[in-house]
Chain A
Amino acid sequence: MKFRKLGPAVAGLVAAGLALSACGSTDAGSAVSSATSAAGSVAAGATSSAGSAVAEATGGTATGGAGLVEKAAAGTLKIGIKFDQPGLGLQNPDGSFSGFDVDVATYVAKELGVEESGIEFIQTKSSEREASIENGTVDYIVATYSITDARKEKVNFAGPYFVAHQDLLVAEGSDITGPEAMSGKILCSVAGSTSAQKVKDTYAADVALQEYGTYTECVEALAGGAVDAVTTDDVILAGYAAQYPGQLKLVGKGFSDENYGIGLTKGDTAGTDAVNAAIKKMIDDGSWAAALEANVGPSGYVIPTPPTIG
């Protein structure tokens, strides 16, 4: 072990340690502000059929690698979803997955020619979503992924396949009727989410904010009486409300529009078109409403009219 050899090694360590340089944003769970404006423009040209999408695909991808359509042709897909959101993306005890996002992901995969057995579901945290798409950890993401301008810089969005609204989950019998009533109350949300901040900024400056790591923790705290309300998108909250029948309920005053999109590689126009076509078909043949009814219907969540794609 020659001391001389240590120089570069040590220097390398220092460099590695200190060069933790500029990083991709660990972004918020749902960026509210820009969602509405972003909705329509994303899926322009989505009307083109999946068939023509395949034809375009060869030259269509910007990142050099194969586009979604080619990957699907190989028979397997890696799809990013949430594992811990009842009604949307939940890992069941038998290892299977259930929820509306899962159904949409599976339907789209099938339209792209990939059977359920060829799908590998991958757990993606909110803050990892852009990075996972950019470096190919997943082929596309269906995980309550709101379409925003900031995110469109990094990924392509297909959809929206669903429009959710920010809402409040409260205990049965609570006197909270809307975000304005949160003044002097305790509101729970996950760390890094902007939805709680929005309530504070727009509706109730006097609200006290509690942050936990996951919505499940917030909901436990709500059920235990430690917080007065939980806020995020209504469809997410509906899943939890269904888990606590007679105990927790949705306030039902949606106060924002969250356009859920399917995120895929930036510049993959062919893939985006193909996914849009699949979503459109899912809405048209009634599978969309059926999936929603099966997953969040039991909570009393009113199935909305499907969003317009493109």
Chain B
Amino acid sequence: MNFSFLSDPRYNLLGAFWNTIQLTLWAAVGSLILGTVLTAMRVSPVPMMRGFATVYVNMVRNIPLTVVIIAMSQVLANGLGVRLASRGEGAAGAQAFLTSQNFRLAVLGLVLYTSTFVSEALRSGINTVPVGQAEAARAIGLKFTQILGIIVLPQAFRAVVAPLGSVLIALTKNTTVASAIGVAEASLLMNTMLENEADKFTAIFIVFALGFVILTLPTGLLFGRIAKKVGVKR
């Protein structure tokens, strides 16, 4: 099998996978924040927030990520004229604008989509916290934000480390959809390589498949270990 394309200067394999990692990390942080906020809203005493968060989660998780991400580009950026980056002067400015704009649109789409799954996981995590704890917290006069922030959420997080790991793995794989709006990540490079090196089809598949196995397998193992370590014994 011919792996000569690996040393071809035209293909920046590491750069493409680095973009995949960056997309994953930014989207992971964003989804964790938005997912936690959505969960807090879903269990809050304010009916409006509960309603909004529930409707949001149930709507967005049912739309294909492909539609969400292409809509970021076609509807938000091109249709509504939203810019997530400013365009500097000259050639460097144009390239930098394009790269940042596409990258940020992709991250935004991934965050909007993935946060619903984070929220679902967290909500089931909240369900693992015994009722008595919240009751005791209320009895000693803690407020909703305190109960959630000090008592319930920390335990919920510890209970859902493993499912959050699954969400992170899914997110890593989902970053490939960003190729639809021209983000130079792994799958877009693979597509380019297949066009130029059609005869090395199998080799290219093995390289990219292994790349993703290397990214996702340790994530699963790591989160499994953390889950065992921090899991609340009941």
B8 contacts partner chain A, Cβ-Cβ < 8 Å:
no
* Interface size counted on chain A using CB atoms at 8 A: 33
Tell me, in angstroms, the Cα distance from A225 to B87 when the chains sit together.
12
Q: Is the CB of B201 within 8 A of A20?
A: yes
Q: Which of B76-84, B127-135, B166-174 contacts A (4 or more CB under 8 A)?
A: B76-84
Tell me, in angstroms, the Cα distance from A261 to B207 when the chains sit together.
37
**B98 interface neighbour in A27, A191, A210, A220, Cβ under 8 Å:** A210
Q: Is the CB of B195 within 8 A of A22?
A: no
Closest to B90 in A: A184
Q: Which residues of A contact B78 (CB under 8 A)?
A: 217, 220-221, 223-224, 226
- CB A14 to nearest CB in B, in angstroms, measures 13
Q: Is the CB of B198 within 8 A of A26?
A: yes
Tell me, in angstroms, the Cα distance from A210 to B102 when the chains sit together.
9
Q: Is the CB of A191 within 8 A of B182?
A: yes
Q: Is the CB of A26 within 8 A of B94?
A: no
Size bin of chain B's contact surface: 20 to 34
Q: Is the CB of A26 within 8 A of B182?
A: no
Q: Is the CB of B195 within 8 A of A213?
A: no
Q: Is the CB of A21 within 8 A of B201?
A: yes
**A186 interface neighbour in B94, B192, B194, B205, Cβ under 8 Å:** B94
Q: Which residues of B contact A27 (CB under 8 A)?
A: 195, 198
Tell me, in angstroms, the Cα distance from A183 to B198 when the chains sit together.
31
Q: Which residues of B contact A192 (CB under 8 A)?
A: 191-192, 195
Q: Is the CB of B191 within 8 A of A208?
A: no
A135 contacts partner chain B, Cβ-Cβ < 8 Å:
no
A28 contacts partner chain B, Cβ-Cβ < 8 Å:
yes
Q: Which residues of A contact B198 (CB under 8 A)?
A: 22-27
- CB A27 to nearest CB in B, in angstroms, measures 6
Q: Is the CB of B201 within 8 A of A224?
A: no
- CB A136 to nearest CB in B, in angstroms, measures 21
Q: Which of B61-99 contact A (CB under 8 A)?
A: 70, 73-74, 77-79, 81, 90-91, 93-95, 97-98
Q: Is the CB of A25 within 8 A of B195?
A: yes
Interface string of B186-221 (1 = CB under 8 A from A): 001001101100111110010000000000000000
- CB B30 to nearest CB in A, in angstroms, measures 22
Q: Which of A163-219 contact B (CB under 8 A)?
A: 183-186, 191-192, 206-213, 217
Tell me, in angstroms, the Cα distance from A240 to B79 when the chains sit together.
17
Interface string of A1-44 (1 = CB under 8 A from B): 00000000000000000011111111110000000000000000
Q: Which residues of B contact A28 (CB under 8 A)?
A: 195
Q: Is the CB of A26 within 8 A of B77?
A: no
B180 contacts partner chain A, Cβ-Cβ < 8 Å:
yes
Given the known inter-chain contacts A191-B188, A221-B78, please indicate yes or no for A23 contacting B98, CB distance below 8 A: no
Residue in A192, A208, A217 whose Cβ sees the most chain B Cβ within 10 Å:
A208
Tell me, in angstroms, the Cα distance from A257 to B191 when the chains sit together.
26
Closest to B80 in A: A224
Tell me, in angstroms, the Cα distance from A185 to B95 when the chains sit together.
8
Q: Is the CB of B182 within 8 A of A220?
A: no
Given the known inter-chain contacts A20-B201, A23-B198, A191-B191, please indicate yes or no for A224 contacting B94, CB distance below 8 A: no
Q: Which residues of A contact B91 (CB under 8 A)?
A: 183-184, 206-208
**B182 interface neighbour in A25, A211, A224, A225, Cβ under 8 Å:** A211
Tell me, in angstroms, the Cα distance from A249 to B101 when the chains sit together.
26
Closest to B88 in A: A184
Q: Is the CB of A22 within 8 A of B77?
A: no
B137 contacts partner chain A, Cβ-Cβ < 8 Å:
no
Closest to B96 in A: A208
Interface string of A222-237 (1 = CB under 8 A from B): 0111101000000000
Q: Closest 3 A-B residue pairs measured CB to CB?
A: A206-B91, A25-B198, A224-B78
24 pairs across A/B with beta carbons < 8 Å? Answer: A20-B201, A21-B201, A22-B202, A23-B201, A27-B195, A183-B91, A184-B91, A191-B179, A191-B188, A191-B191, A207-B91, A208-B95, A210-B102, A210-B182, A211-B188, A212-B180, A212-B182, A213-B180, A217-B73, A221-B73, A224-B78, A224-B81, A225-B81, A226-B78
